[in-house]
Amino acid sequence: FRAAALRFRIFFSPSRFFFSTMLNRRGQIQRVLCVAEKNDAAKGIADILSNSRMRRREGFSKFNKIYEFEYHMFGQNVSVIMTSVSGHLLALEFKTPFQKWHSCNPLSLFDAEVEKYCPDNFVDIKRTLEREARRCQALVLWTDCDREGENIGFEIIQVCKAVKQNLQVFRAHFSEITPRSIRMACENLGAADQNISDAVDVRQELDLRIGAAFTRFQTMRLQKIFPNVLAQQLISYGSCQFPTLGFVVERFKAIQAFMPEAFYKIKVTHENEDGLIEFNWKRYRLFHHTACLVLYQICMEDPVATVIEVGSKPKSKWRPVALDTVELEKLASRKLKINARETMKIAEKLYTQGYISYPRTETNIFPKDLNLSSLIQQQTQDQHWGAFAQGILDRGGPTPRNGNKSDQAHPPIHPTKYTNSLQGNEQRIYEFIVRHFLACCSQDAQGQETTVEIDIASERFVAHGLMIIARNYLDVYPYDKWNAKVIPVYERGSQFQPTMIEMVDGETSPPQLLTEADLIALMEKHGIGTDATHAEHIETIKSRMYVGLTAEQRFLPGELGMGLVEGYDSMGYEMSKPDLRAELEANLKLISEGKKDKFVVLREQIQKYRQVFLEAVAKANKLDEALSQYFGEAAQMVQQEEIYPDIQLPVRKCPQCNRDMVLKTKKAGGYYLSCLGYPNCKTAVWFPSSVLEVSRDESVCTVCQPHPVHRLKLKFKQGSVPATMPLEFVGCIGGCDEMLREILDLKYLHGPSRGQQQPRGHLQVNQSSNRMASNENKQNKPLTVRQDGPNRSLNIIQTPKPVHPVLIDDENNVVVCNCGKDAVLLTVRKEGPNQGRKFYKCGGGSCNFFLWADQQSDGRDCAVNRCFSAGSPFLNTRPSAWFRDGGPSSGRDSRHMGSNGDDMGSGAVCMCNQPAVTRTVQKDGPNKGRQFHTCSKPREQQCGFFQWADENVPPGLPGMLSSSCGQQHASGTKTKRMNSSSSDKGPTAKKQRTCGICHQPGHTRVTCPHK
């Protein structure tokens, strides 16, 4: 119950909760860091809180000063350090590999990693915050109370908490920089709203990904296709700017498609001593000439007008509604001819100087607790509108006309302090805001409207007159016009002869091009951008030359803008329409209100725009065709791969930095797996030259971690892999394919990468990949299925047919060789480490079988799974290639020479199943003079077989192996493949470690008894 009560208090009274928290910890707070969004705001707030007694000093940034003063906060006197940022402190950008335009395919930007960083021009501000935060115990955010301000606040929190983790953070909520508002904010500090900041994070990331992907796609393609026109042109795309451009193009095309239609109407005029009165036909107009002509002729046959109705009623002209941001932008554009961008720039400056309330608001309802009378009283001293302001107070005070919108954050825009020292457009904007505020708090204009209706040959005509009784708000608001229209007094039933009855014709006219006010109204109606961003989007399409302005300041689309919109529309995906962006803006609002998760919105929107992007790329020729109508025939039609790099799909995470690793091609040919963290991370896997092709498979390994690890489609050079392996297969380089680890020498994967090791020597190959194998490798290779548990996936294991497993007769304890006959037991006679050791060999000497007798106890699993493991590097030769014909103890050493003089008596058989030849290394180096076995065929026909003559031979011969079967096939063995200038080394027995002093095994030099 107590926990529930506490949650209730937090939810319904956050400021009280935080204030109580401050009181509990006030003894710890001695210095408070306050940060505003701009230097002017910091100066104004510090001036109010210090009663103009603050001390100023310099920070690292010359544009952002530091103001110090004492203030009573948290129930005690504290030292306050007030400083500022300059808007957003951090920026969002792709990580290093994706920042360069030609570094990746634009499609990869939808998944590329992004990060926030501090731009170089803001580093000094960041250093100031870090230095001051270290000396303070609390941080109070004084950024603007809107979405962007909240996000800037969290950037400040991130920077400050990075240097002082236990810093207490509070949020000041205010709408104007006035003593009353600022002091009230200090007394009701609350918490920053993470939801509002999250909405901005989502918008920033989507704008970055979508804008960068489409901008690079458009620019790189169209610059190549229209080099004479667009070679130096940045062809940007934005999910807000493009629908904004769409509105302009749509209106222009509506004008182009408009077909004027002739119409006809009858007009009656009556002139007397009071002036000329025009009566309008109640039918308004007809589009049929003959019909109108007949009616006109009837009227002319008896042209006497009879007054059938005279009426009078009161008429009002409504005063303006309380001012919000969108209305300010539209009215300033229409009435003052100041564009929206300039208007908002001036309004923000007036706000930071304390002259007006916060100018970015969606509210047009004055809160009941706002003292409007005191605000009006401040304006009574002005010589232009002071008398009107006094009149409002004398008539009982303000009665504002409210609208129906509220963002629950800021009141409507209104003056907060009187000034007469402004100049230029600043003075004009300030005057407009004051006059609008006074007009809103005044009364509607009152008038009397008179209506006279006459009849001529059963056709009705009407005239209107207006008499203004009380101008009211019109006296202070010259931006509205309401003119009186005097008509003579007519009596019902009276008749008169009209001065003129005439039939006039005309044509319907097309709509006009959009003004800036019209465009802002459309953006607001369709949910494109916010009140804070309308001006930015309009300015962007102007700066990109997508639109221009006529002499009447109306928007006219340019050729590039027209071509882009027509091209995308012809694809069937109306990207210039506002639907996609309007949906995002609605979702951002839900994130701000805590009703939707930001990651869900991010994932959904990225997926939608990715699909749009894929369709745009697939139908890019339609974009070319649309623009060629304006720029002439395209220079050349090119394929996508000629413009953009291949898409770098991630294969796995880097084991060092956890960034994605992708496949890349080497300049000299070949492939390697590179970390996207390069150059900071240099982890890479270099595939040997024996790998002819590598590509990412869509299948994902279920064993290797971190997930996902994609399998690779590999194609090897013939003879470069064991004969039991197909030349083309799908394998995993995450560490679970032991044979692939040995073949590719995956050094960075030698450690275990999963919780449970898979049996060594088994390469996981799916059935579809087995079908890709060459005919030679397909022969006599049955597949067996191994399942490690009831819930484990099936691993298809390639079982080598030519190498027969060692069969052990359990009843007679007899070892059977590869021929299926009983093997003979012999003893090593030659001096050496294996002298006296027993071994088995083929009794007939035909299969070259060999097995140490002391390994027989390892059982059937050792014989099958270890000694003849598929992961063994010895499987690149047949068993007959291991030893000389006749077996190791036959005593035969019959060598014979080939026709070219090569030694044919080695007994080794290559992968062509032909006797290998023995040659000697002639090149200078550590192996000069060393003999090796290789294929006897000409170089261009060789199978790739290689074996040192002094290694991998049976006992009794030089270089014989003394290690056990398990040691021979240890998983850490590294193999190197021979190229034109190097030779292979097979696996050798691991040398026992000896002492560095006495060179005896069993101890080290540290514990040596002879030291």
Helix locations, 460-557, DSSP H? 516-526, 534-543
Query: Could you write out the three-class secondary structure of 55-84?
Result: EEECCCCCCCCEEEEEEEECCEEEEEEEEE
With CA atoms as reference, report the closest residue to 889 among 933, 834, 930: 834
Q: How far is CA 18 from the centre of its chain?
A: 35
- Let me know if 358 is a catalytic residue: yes
Q: Could you tell me if 214 and 221 are in contact, meaning their C-beta atoms sit under 8 angstroms apart? A: no
Helix (H, G, I), strand (E, B) or coil at 588: helix
For the beta sheet containing 66-73, the strands, ordered from the edge strand earlier in sequence to the opposite edge, are 55-57, 66-73, 76-84, 31-36, 138-142, 168-171
Q: Which helix (H) or strand (E) holds 1011?
A: none
Q: 């009560």: which residue's tokens?
A: 5
Q: 């930095």: which residue's tokens?
A: 657
CA–CA gap between residue 774 and residue 782 (Å, rounded): 15
Helix (H, G, I), strand (E, B) or coil at 592: helix
Q: Residue 375: which residues within 8 A CB-CB, separation 6 or more? A: 414, 415, 416, 437
With CA atoms as reference, report the closest residue to 613 among 208, 240, 215: 215
Question: Within the chain, what is the greatest distance between any pair of CA atoms?
Answer: 148
Cis peptide preceding 708, ω within 30 of 0: yes
Number of Cβ atoms within 10 Å of the Cβ of 91: 14
Q: Which helix (H) or strand (E) holds 928?
A: none
CA–CA gap between residue 43 and residue 556 (Å, rounded): 43
Read off the DSSP letter of residue 334.
I
Angle between helices 39-49 and 340-352 (to 10 degrees): 30
CA–CA gap between residue 748 and residue 735 (Å, rounded): 9
CA–CA gap between residue 38 and residue 807 (Å, rounded): 85
CA–CA gap between residue 170 and residue 190 (Å, rounded): 6
Q: Residue 980: which residues within 8 A CB-CB, separation 6 or more? A: none
- Residue tagged active-site, from 71, 358, 473, 546: 358
CA–CA gap between residue 617 and residue 222 (Å, rounded): 12
With CA atoms as reference, report the closest residue to 999 among 984, 981, 983, 1011: 1011
E strands, 118-178, are 138-142, 168-171
Show which residues are catalytic: 358
